[in-house]
Amino acid sequence: MGHWDDEIRDQTICSIQEEKERVLGLRVEVLSRENEIVLGEESLHGLTVASDDKSYAGYRRELLRVAIQQTRDFFSRHLKAA
């Protein structure tokens, strides 16, 4: 928060204290069913979202998209090598 505008920083801190917003980190992993090898993963930390926001300000969808693409890339690389 050191690089934030003072007013925005203060508003965000108040919102967190009033439990209107929360700060969190999200991590998505796509695992193999057989041996739980990580096939794709993505994470973001230091996010500020509304307390009642179940989509995490759209970050959830983006994290899933990236992890799924990494999984596709994983299989593409390994199929070419075979």
Contacts for 38-44: CB closer than 8 Å, 24+ residues apart? 39/70, 39/71, 39/74, 39/75, 40/66, 40/67, 40/68, 40/69, 40/70, 40/71, 40/72, 40/73, 40/74, 41/67, 41/70, 42/66, 42/67, 42/70
- Mind listing the pLDDT tens digit for each residue in 20-64? 999 999 999 999 999 999 999 999 999 999 999 988 999 999 999
Domains of the chain by residue range: 24-80
pTM for the complete prediction? 0.73
C-alpha to C-alpha distance for 32 and 71, rounded to whole angstroms:
10
